Every structure is written in structure tokens, then in C-alpha cells.
Amino acid sequence: MNKAGRVESAVGIGKSHLAARLWPANWRYHTRMKVIGFLFTLPVLVFFLVFNIYPIISAIIISFFEFDLFGPMTWVGPANYQNLTGNKNFWSAIRVTLSFMLFFGPPAWVIGFLFASLIKDKIIGRFFFRSVFFAPTILSAVAMATAWSLLLRQNGPLNAMLGLSVSWLTKQNSALWGIVIMSIWQGAGWFMVVFLAGLQSIPQTFYEAAAIDGAGRWPLLRHITLPMLRPIFAFVVIHTIIAGMKIFTPMFIMTGGGPNNSTRSMAMLIYHEGLRDLRMGRASAISMVGFVLILILTIIQLRLFRVHEGVEA
């Protein structure tokens, strides 16, 4: 072997020895980083397991028992679910919950979208208006429900301003509307922020190119803004479904579920069955039905979203 070959061989051997020496150190370093990262996420994982996964599993188990929080659990099998089929209060709660989602969602989306469209550009006072529009979202739900209970009285400021004499919260045909109005006022600001983030993420070059071609405001909205915001719309619809299924505080504070159960949502029914009447098995069964209902509505919405994507593609 010539001198150049020996040098090349020696260099190769040196590299292999160096890699052999460095590999364990690199492996230990990466392993240590993974362990440190896991330790940082461990509190969140524990919190998620304790306050999310464990309650769901417990509710599933309890839904097959008769349990009053104090005595022993008695196995009843699917009886709690079977009893719901003939329970008028259960079907009334589903109707109220779905009605609230239907009456609250679209108006809140439209108002939030309009607010976002108005303040997305650099206008004077836009940060002030953002704060004003978003403020109701961060206020206490109990405080807002209490304040609106006073506003919606028959002799309250709202009727005086509108020149009406409507007993919003004590009539069966208007009580839910009073809660919907308050919820739209409180929730539109949150939708505004979501839509604002979506609008600001749309490349301005799309609008400039369409403007050069002579597109007006309506074509821009129809062919650029709305299609680009489809993921945002999917998100707000799912959020509305989940929020609607969990609605509790306004109805509990403003009407207590009345009059004649016309504002008793599924969340309130779970509260009444579980904590007031101490029928935890039935309350858990209702919560599981609500969970399945949220899942079904979310899957349907996501499938519709993908179908529209596929059609446009």
C-alpha cells in the first residue's frame, strides 16, 4: 500500500473511532432532552388525565349504576338510558339546547364577521373598537347574566328604550330569546377576534390581483374571502356546538330553567338530576348522550366541510 493509501486508511479509522466515541454522547444528550421535555409537559398531561379523561370514564361507568353520592352504587345496566327515551324533560332539554344553538350561532357569526371586516384595516381608533367589541367576552358570565336580568325586566331599560312592554324572562315564548340576545352580545366579540385572525391571514396579493381584473366588493367577498375563511367557519361552528351543549350560567341565573322548562338546557338538566335530585346515574347517562350528540354534529360538520373542499378542488 502506498503512502497516500495508508493516510486515507488512517483517516477513515480515525473517523470511525471518533463516531463511536461521539455517538453515545449524542444519544445521551438527545435522550436527556426528551426526558426534560416530557417532564415539562407532565403537569399538563396529569391535569388533562385527572380533569378530563378520568371524569369521562367515571361518567360512563356511573351511567350504568344507580348512585345518590352517599349510598352504595347499584348496578342497573342500560336502564338509565332506557328511561331517557320516555322522559319528557330530556327531550325538552334537547329541543331547548338545539334551539339556542340555532338562534345564537348565525347572528353571532354574522355580527362578529362584520365587526372583524370593519376593523381589519388601519383605521383611526381600531384598537379602541377592538377592545370595546371584545370586552363583553372577558367579563364574568354571572355578572353579565345578572345585569341582563335587570335590563330585560318588564319595566327595565331595554323596554323603555324600545318603547315596549315585554316581560322577556317570565313568558314562555320570549324567555329563550332574552337569553339568546344576551349571549349574542357577549359572544360576538369572541367570533370577531377569530374572524379577524382569519382575515389578516389572507394574502393581500389575492385582492390586488382581483382588483386589477376589475372585481368589486361582492366578487372579492364571494370568491376570495369566504373560501379562504372556510377553516375558520368550520372552527366557529364546532365551537358553537360545544358551547351550546354546555350553556348553563345564563339560564341558571336569568330564568332558573323556566318558565315551564322553556329555558332548561341539557347542562341544566344534568345539574338538576345529579346535584339537586341526587340521581347521578341518570345525570351521567344524559351527559353521555350529550357527548355523543356533540360528536355526531361535529363529524357531520367536518364531513360537509371536506365535501365542499373536494367540490371546489
Give the integer Cα–Cα distance in Å for 227 and 30: 43
Give the integer Cα–Cα distance in Å for 239 and 233: 10
- The residue among 27 and 273 whose pLDDT is bigger is 273
Q: Is the pLDDT of residue 211 over 50?
A: yes
Confidence of residue 220 (pLDDT cuts 50, 70, 90): confident
Summarised one tens digit per residue, pLDDT across range 2-39 is 544 444 454 444 445 544 454 555 667 778 888 888 88
Check residue 25 and give its pLDDT: 57
Give the integer Cα–Cα distance in Å for 24 and 18: 11
Q: Is the pLDDT of residue 216 over 50?
A: yes
Q: What percent of the chain has pLDDT over 90?
A: 42
| CA atoms in the 13 A half-sphere facing the CB of 272 | 16
Summarised one tens digit per residue, pLDDT across range 151-171 is 888 888 888 888 888 888 888
Q: What is the pTM of this model?
A: 0.81
Of the listed ranges 20-29, 54-63, 129-138, the one predicted with least confidence: 20-29
Which three-class secondary structure string do you get for 276-289? Answer: HCCCHHHHHHHHHH
Check residue 17 and give its pLDDT: 52
Among candidate residues 180, 166, 189, the one with its CA nearest the CA of residue 111: 189
Give the integer Cα–Cα distance in Å for 6 and 3: 5
Confidence of residue 191 (pLDDT cuts 50, 70, 90): very high
Give the integer Cα–Cα distance in Å for 173 and 134: 30
What is the DSSP annotation of 156-203?
A: SHHHHHHT----TTTSTTTHHHHHHHHHHHHHHHHHHHHHHHHHHTS-
Superfamily in which the 79-312 domain is placed by CATH:
MetI-like (1.10.3720.10)
Q: What percent of the chain has pLDDT over 70?
A: 88
Domain limits, the chain? 3-51, 79-312
Confidence of residue 130 (pLDDT cuts 50, 70, 90): confident
Confidence of residue 311 (pLDDT cuts 50, 70, 90): very low
Q: Is the pLDDT of residue 305 over 90?
A: no
